[in-house]
Each structure stands twice: as structure tokens, then as C-alpha cells.
């Protein structure tokens, strides 16, 4: 009999603990819910995870956008899929960022091609840049 009373007392304590008043970690609203619940609603849970993911992925997105922008510029210059020459000034004025590229490829003259995906550039001795499509180099 004592064991049964003790069992019900523990259950009722557990029940109270499981449905406590809590604060949503996303919006700060007070709600009653299970102690293992962190959000007042599924929309707060989703918003919280989106915010965390955005923060984690922000550097990736920023760099991907820089690479995409570089690619667009190189792609516009090589739209006929043929190499062209342009100046550094033209590239910089178009918004090209020389710090970001996806890979390099050795040139025959000992220089290095810098690629953004399949579009790349080779600095030439005269201050110009040769803008190329990678498949031309592979063939």
C-alpha cells in the first residue's frame, strides 16, 4: 500500500515537471508544455532552425555569390566559347574579384590559369588577361 501511494506521488510530481511553464527560445513567449519542448509553436521551431542555419551557412553563401559573380563576368566575355583578351581594369570595373576562384590549371608557359568553374583567366605579360573556357585546354 505504501509503495502504491509513493508511486502515484512520483507520477504526479513527474506530470507537473513535464508540463511546466516555459519560455520559447525563439520568440520569448511563455507557454505550458513538456520540459523537453523548446519552442511555443512549430513555426517558432522552424524559424529558429532557419536562423541558425543561415548564420552557419552565411560565409558559404557569401563566397558562392562572389564565385558566381566572377563566373558571370568570365562567361559573358567568352559567350562564343572562344578565348578573348581583356585588361585587368575591365575585369575590376565589371566587379571581378581576383581573390576568389575554384581551381587552377598549369599553363604551358609556366604560368597558372585561374578558374571559376569552367571559365578562367591567364595573366599575360603585357598586363592583359586571356579569358578562356576550360574544355579548350583539356582537348
| Alpha-carbon distance values, 88 to 8, 36, 79, 123, 130 (Å) | 80, 58, 19, 9, 10
Could you tell me which stretch among 9-17, 21-29, 55-63, 98-106 binds Zn ion (CB under 5 A)?
21-29
Asked whether position 24 contacts Zn ion by CB under 5 A, the answer is yes
Asked whether position 44 contacts Zn ion by CB under 5 A, the answer is yes
Asked whether position 116 contacts Zn ion by CB under 5 A, the answer is no
Asked whether position 22 contacts Zn ion by CB under 5 A, the answer is no
Rg (CA), the chain: 30
Instruction: State the nearest-atom distance from the C-beta of 55 to Zn ion, in Å.
Output: 18
Asked whether position 26 contacts Zn ion by CB under 5 A, the answer is yes
Could you tell me which stretch among 43-51, 52-60, 81-89, 114-122 binds Zn ion (CB under 5 A)?
43-51
Asked whether position 40 contacts Zn ion by CB under 5 A, the answer is yes
Taken in order 71, 73, 76, 82, is the CA torsion positive or negative? Answer: negative
Instruction: State the nearest-atom distance from the C-beta of 52 to Zn ion, in Å.
Output: 14
Asked whether position 119 contacts Zn ion by CB under 5 A, the answer is no
Complex with Zn ion: residue 23 or 103, whichever CB lies closer: 23
DSSP assignment of 26-88: TT--EEEE-TT---SSHHHHHHHHHHHHHHHHHHHHHHHHHHHHHHHHHHHHTTTSS-EEEEH
Cell triple for residue 89?
A: 581594369
**Site residues for Zn ion per CB under 5 A:** 24, 26-27, 29, 40, 44
Amino acid at each position: 500500500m505504501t509503495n502504491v501511494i509513493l508511486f502515484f506521488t512520483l507520477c504526479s510530481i513527474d506530470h507537473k515537471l513535464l508540463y511546466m511553464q516555459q519560455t520559447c527560445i525563439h520568440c520569448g513567449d511563455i507557454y505550458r508544455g513538456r520540459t523537453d519542448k523548446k519552442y511555443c509553436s512549430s513555426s517558432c521551431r522552424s524559424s529558429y532552425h532557419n536562423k541558425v542555419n543561415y548564420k552557419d551557412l552565411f560565409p558559404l553563401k557569401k563566397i558562392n555569390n562572389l564565385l558566381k559573380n566572377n563566373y558571370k563576368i568570365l562567361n559573358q566575355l567568352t559567350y562564343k566559347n572562344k578565348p578573348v583578351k581583356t585588361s585587368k581594369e575591365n575585369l575590376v570595373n565589371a566587379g571581378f574579384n581576383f581573390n576568389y576562384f575554384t581551381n587552377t590549371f598549369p599553363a604551358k608557359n609556366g604560368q597558372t590559369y585561374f578558374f571559376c568553374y569552367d571559365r578562367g583567366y591567364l595573366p599575360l605579360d603585357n598586363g592583359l588577361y586571356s579569358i578562356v573556357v576550360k574544355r579548350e585546354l583539356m582537348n
